[in-house]
């Protein structure tokens, strides 16, 4: 499988804190590595037309078959990767691209909803990230964290999130075998502690002068 160097992703169940960490990362990066390399943070679903359509489906405003949603996620990802100013273009010109969710989310969430085969085949042409940072959190704690957010999305209920975490844990070794380095963080801790470990993980990337081994288990509950 093709590995896209300079590309790292954050993954985890809903409420595991990846969005918060993205914000902290931007601040830390600006202070600690001014200038080069350029950090590009991004997320899926994207803010583009396809991503907005997905957001409506996630809110339950647009009822779609799980298979259609799987195809939409993959289509949104294809644009995100290969469109103008996309992930591939940026990573190839030396930017450090960090994305909140990517292919593993589809393999986990859509895998649970419509079987493994469809998301696997839809996503098989896409490159794997150099580094996957998994935010591990008991779904009960995550549910507590997101219960005050107001609107609940279609996947945000406890039974499903328990399956999501289990599916992630069973797939991490597969991603590692495909050549991505995996770092597993204990996301139950304070945001500043998680941020410090996220930073340490990113510093293993060649773009930040690190020497990434094929599978790092150096931080948190390394796997
Ligand atoms: P996210 O933006 O991380 O959640 P939030 O709205 O809380 O910030 O992700 C939105 C949801 O989309 C989340 O439940 C996971 C789901 N998702 C998939 O099911 N498949 C995918 O391929 C992606 C990228 C996200």
Ordered structural domains, the chain, with CATH? 3-208 (3.40.50.300)
Query: How close is the Cα of 177 to the center of ligand 1, in Å?
Result: 24
Query: How close is the Cα of 209 to the center of ligand 1, in Å?
Result: 31
Query: How close is the Cα of 124 to the center of ligand 1, in Å?
Result: 19
Burial pattern 68-95, b for ≥16 Cβ within 10 A else e, equals ebbbbbbebbbebbeeeebbbebbeeeb
pLDDT at residue 207 greater than cutoff 90:
no
**Residue in this structure with the two tokens 């990337």, named with its chain if needed:** 205
Q: Is the CB of 135 under 6 A from ligand 1?
A: no
Residue 210 burial by CB count (10 A; 0-12/13-18/19+): exposed, middle or buried?
middle
Q: Which atom of ligand 1 lies closest to the CA of 103?
A: 22
Q: Is the CB of 44 under 6 A from ligand 1?
A: yes
* pLDDT tens-place string over residues 32-73: 877 678 999 999 999 999 999 999 999 999 999 999 999 999
Query: pLDDT class for 212, splitting at 50, 70, 90?
Result: low
**Residue in this structure with the two tokens 């050549």, named with its chain if needed:** 179
Does residue 15 or residue 206 have the better pLDDT? 15
User: Stretch 187-191: mean pLDDT, rounded?
Assistant: 97
pLDDT at residue 199 greater than cutoff 60:
yes
65: three-class secondary structure by DSSP = coil
Does residue 145 or residue 113 have the better pLDDT? 113
Provide, rounded to the nearest whole percent, the portion of the chain with pLDDT above 70: 94
Query: How close is the Cα of 45 to the center of ligand 1, in Å?
Result: 6
Q: Is the CB of 73 under 6 A from ligand 1?
A: yes
Residue 184 · residue 172 · CB < 8 Å = yes
Task: Give the integer Cα–Cα distance in Å for 66 and 73.
Answer: 11
Kindly give, in sequence order, each residue whose CB lies less than 8 Å from that of residue 156, ignoring residues fewer than 6 positions away: 14, 15, 146
Residue 113 · residue 24 · CB < 8 Å = no
pLDDT at residue 156 greater than cutoff 70:
yes
Predicted confidence at residue 7, as pLDDT, reads 97
Task: Give the integer Cα–Cα distance in Å for 78 and 86.
Answer: 9
Q: What are the beta bridge partners of residue 100?
A: 10, 43
Residue 132 · residue 104 · CB < 8 Å = yes
Task: Give the integer Cα–Cα distance in Å for 109 and 119.
Answer: 9
């Amino acid at each position: 499988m093709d590995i896209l160097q300079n590309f790292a992703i954050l993954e985890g169940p809903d409420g595991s804190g990846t969005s918060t960490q993205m914000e902290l990362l931007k601040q830390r990066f600006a202070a600690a590595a001014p200038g080069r390399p350029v950090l590009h943070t991004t997320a899926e679903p994207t803010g583009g037309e396809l991503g907005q359509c997905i957001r409506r489906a996630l809110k339950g405003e647009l009822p779609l078959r799980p298979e259609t949603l799987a195809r939409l996620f993959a289509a949104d990802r294809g644009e995100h990767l290969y469109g103008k100013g996309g992930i591939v273009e940026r990573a190839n010109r030396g930017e450090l691209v960090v994305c909140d969710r990517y292919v593993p989310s589809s393999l986990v969430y859509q895998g649970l909803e419509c079987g493994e085969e469809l998301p696997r085949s839809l996503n098989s042409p896409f490159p794997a990230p150099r580094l996957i940072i998994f935010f591990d959190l008991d779904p009960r704690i995550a549910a507590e964290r997101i219960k005050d957010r107001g609107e609940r999305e279609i996947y945000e209920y406890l039974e499903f999130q328990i399956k999501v975490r289990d599916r992630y844990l069973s797939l991490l070794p597969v991603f590692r075998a495909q050549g991505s380095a995996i770092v597993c963080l204990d996301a139950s801790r304070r945001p500043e502690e998680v941020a410090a470990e996220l930073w340490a993980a990113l510093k293993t990337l060649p773009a930040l002068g690190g020497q990434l081994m094929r599978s790092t288990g150096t931080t948190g509950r390394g796997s």
